Amino acid sequence: MWGVDPALLDDEEKLRSVLLKAAEVAGGKIIGVLFHKFEPQGVTGVVAIAESHISIHTWPEHGYAAIDIFTCGSHVDPWRAFEYSMKELKPKNVNVFEIKRGVMAGEGEEF
């Protein structure tokens, strides 16, 4: 995502709050949290959920952040986490790629 307020992308506590709430909104069970603030700028963070993880990596100097929302199972909705994150981060531009992982060839079963 591009065009995000650089101050927001450098605010470790705010980003932690956004990802924790995104995991909750999606229906994930939080099992771990790790964030790191870089000098002079930038934040990397991951919220581990029983169903996988949500992570963010920011480049405030470019107004850019990359978020991964990786889930498994049928009771977690990654799109709810995405929508909440977009509402909070307010990017001007977004590229979204959905990757179906764990799909068995010819069987259509997802993990």
What fold does the segment set 6-89 form as a domain?
A: S-adenosylmethionine decarboxylase (3.60.90)
pLDDT of 31 strictly over 60: yes
Domain spans of the chain, in order of start: 6-89
pLDDT at 83 (0 to 100): 98
pTM of the predicted model, to two decimals? Answer: 0.89
Longest dimension (CA), the chain: 49
36 included as an active-site residue? no
57 included as an active-site residue? yes
- Give the CA angle between residues 34, 5, 37 to the nearest 5°: 25
Note the pLDDT tens digit of each residue in 56-85: 999 999 999 999 999 988 899 999 999 999
- Closest by CA to 56, choosing from 82, 92, 29, 93, is 82
Q: What are phi and psi of 65, to 5 degrees?
A: -140, 145
Catalytic option among 17, 55, 57, 85 = 57
Catalytic option among 36, 52, 53, 85 = 52
Q: Report the alpha-carbon distance of residue 98 to residue 110 in Å, rounded.
A: 14
Note the pLDDT tens digit of each residue in 18-28: 999 999 999 99
72 included as an active-site residue? yes
| Residue 88 CB neighbours (<10 A) | 15
Catalytic option among 72, 74, 75, 85 = 72
